[in-house]
Chains A and B, each alone.
Chain A
């Protein structure tokens, strides 16, 4: 098993369409999509430039190349999708080579209609088409063997890339069969390997990218080097929405209108020059007066006055509140949060007269291509987007600001250029998780039924700010995690009020779920206390009609020995969330509260993602989601003053570190339900699980996040 990622100066595998079929002795098969089957067969022909639209390539030397369409940002997708593709192909896994696919419509994520990585959608979106592609290729290889021997395919068997004629010792290898197989018709409905014979799917296959990630060979966007390139740094306005009023003319300075770039012969010089550069800015008055306090005040007014857009309503929630014998009315407050990807934003552009190559750690390959076309004026066909590893994506690298800037700089200076943002620019100019205010009103009757659930979220609109929807229209991102809850409330009303603040907001790992799950699950915990019953028992009661959710909650509780008393000085909490089609329940054990922290000793997690493709990586995503959620809930906050983040670096943005890492145990439930995502669902329930435990430990209910504002960021050891 090897992996190939783009190295800037290396020639990429290039293949052409059917015109050169067979000349290279290779088989390629396009994605077998539902609906009209894709019939193209394309062959490998190194050096021939053409659009690539294939997933599997088998060369005469037995090398099997799998093209992986998604961005590898740590979630192990290059391995996961390769497992799916290789399963029905019945290939020798040790001979598989995994290659990051270029940007082409054939690689579009069925969940998006474009090539993009996000929304925990990769495995769910590509699972069926990739299995069909692998199986179709296998059947074509079998058909080629059968034709060679003058027998029917049913008289042939295949194992590890070798076809055997039944009842004989005759064999043919995939490499020998590839050229002939490429001429066989593409089967429209190939038989998939039955579950009990799966060799790769469901197995903890070692990740294909890790050998490169322990010796410095992995090429991230920031590592790209192009001959003759210069290095650029960026300087943004001191408040959001600012524009350049004036900047002195200088051949190394590029005025981008809403920012200024400086180029130099290394990154350090560029960053230093950008810092010291004098720029006059025009700042919108609404921005210069914007502070965390003004945003909160406005949110409190909007919470009362609306106007609210209804996201979900079942029954008469307002009327039913009259049936309640006990009522909860609580408001939770969430700060802006930064993504803080370990790899700062960067993009490299090599613009020539008739072509443009872009290297970027991006989650939005298709959008990078179209952006490059727009800025350079070149046709899409002249734009090559080269995938690189991402040093974290987390939703930040779905954005196009850093891509746009690098392209604009390249157009202006007419040299290959790599733009690298300083960490200070990254923290100051993020598309943050939105500030939100959430009010939950709930009523219990005498039997502890939740007779009414009224939920309102006030926050900026991510989708409107990006131009995906109009302002004043319901934004699904704002209420995800608050709608479609599994709990059998007797009535419910979920609505949202758009906050008009102009702080840039975006997609932060699990997006609305991380906000709404905190409010929903904390409110459930508070309802249990109000009812005087155990929070697990209340959830069991509310999930009585949802056996799948109930199984997840019960599994986590059992792992944690829920019901037995915690150790002295410890407390437990539980929370559940169904996001991206995956159900996660965390139970936590906490102790040792202090001014700026609480020790999270253990997390017991049950997860049902339908089917785990690689259980080791499911576990890794749960571990990572817990840390991401802990950073966000315990310490994360981007305060705003005069229209700008006051956080500039990790020194005042406390991240979870080694000493914060709880012992995480994960139980995977393969329910056989439709496959859900794994990149994000570990995040939402960890904050409220800790909040529930923290209340029992300290008597303090944390309704204003973070738990520990002002915690020092920490420094050198």
Chain B
């Protein structure tokens, strides 16, 4: 049994320490906002913040996550008051929405160090996959959030 800090809450987790954080969040804690997409750190659907930095949770063992502050999409806000959430709705970004949890977390991480990124900086930084092709609206959403 280990203690995991997710979205400011302490969770007692009984799982093999080699279990990827993604599956601890989804199947054991029940926070299903973080998505499984590839399991090999390529697609970014599972992106969460670990001590404020974007990490792909599909390849982070539970043992590595213990003692760190984990933030999932549910931790942005539950009432859609986070600037990125507001901007995503204002720009009507999501289509199927499956990748957007990871996108939002990747963007949140980027904007901590670069609060007003250019399109070129966004292109260089955000390489999560969105099969629906919402990229143009994600860029617009980031620019909108930067002004909020």
Taking Cβ atoms with an 8 Å cutoff, the residues of A that contact B are 73-76, 206-207, 209-220, 222-223, 225, 231, 266-269, 271, 340-344, 389-394, 420, 422-424, 616-617, 620, 623-628, 631, 649-651, 655-661, 663-664, 713-717
Contacts and interface: CB of A to CB of B under 8 A. Distances in A.
Contacts of A424: 39
12 contacts: A207-B94, A216-B32, A342-B37, A343-B35, A620-B137, A651-B38, A655-B43, A655-B131, A658-B135, A659-B123, A660-B135, A717-B127
Nearest to B87: A214
Given A206-B89, A214-B80, A266-B23, A627 B133 contact: yes
Contacts of B116: none
Contacts of B130: 342, 627
Interface in B1-39: 15-16, 19-20, 22-23, 26-28, 30-39
B94 to A, nearest CB: 4
Contact of A649 (B15, B34, B40, B104): B40
Given A213-B100, A658-B122, A420 B36 contact: yes
Contacts, number: 207
Contacts of A623: 133-134, 136-137
Contacts of A714: 42, 127
Interface in B31-81: 31-45, 54, 56, 72-74, 76-80
B92 A206 contact: yes
Which of A212, A214, A623, A716 has the most C-beta atoms of chain B within 10 angstroms of its own C-beta?
A: A214
Given A74-B96, A389-B96, A628 B23 contact: no
Contacts of B132: 74, 342, 392, 624, 627
A212 B31 CA distance: 14
Contact of A215 (B20, B33, B136): B33
Given A215-B78, A392-B132, A717-B125, A76 B40 contact: no
Interface in B74-107: 74, 76-80, 84-85, 88-89, 92-101, 104, 106
B135 A627 contact: yes
Which of A76, A206, A218, A225 has the most C-beta atoms of chain B within 10 angstroms of its own C-beta?
A: A218
Nearest to A204: B92
Contacts of B129: 342, 650, 655, 657
A342 B133 contact: no
Chain B residues touching A, range: 35 or more
Contact of B30 (A225, A660, A661): A225
A223 B23 CA distance: 12
Contacts of A341: 98, 131
Given A216-B34, A423-B37, A628-B133, A658 B80 contact: no
Contacts of B74: 215-217
A214 B88 CA distance: 7
A713 B96 contact: no
B123 to A, nearest CB: 4
Contacts of A663: 136
A604 B25 CA distance: 42
B55 to A, nearest CB: 9
Given A216-B32, A627-B132, A627-B135, 10 more contacts: A213-B97, A215-B79, A392-B132, A394-B131, A420-B36, A423-B40, A620-B137, A658-B138, A659-B123, A659-B127
A657 B73 contact: no
Given A627-B132, A714-B42, A213 B26 contact: no
B148 interface: no
Nearest to B28: A266
A89 to B, nearest CB: 24
Which of B35, B129, B132 has the most C-beta atoms of chain A within 10 angstroms of its own C-beta?
A: B132
B126 interface: yes
Top 8 nearest A-B pairs by Cβ distance? A216-B33, A627-B133, A391-B98, A74-B96, A213-B97, A74-B95, A661-B135, A223-B32
Given A225-B32, A231-B27, A341-B131, A661 B136 contact: yes
B89 A211 contact: yes
A713 B127 CA distance: 11
A446 to B, nearest CB: 44
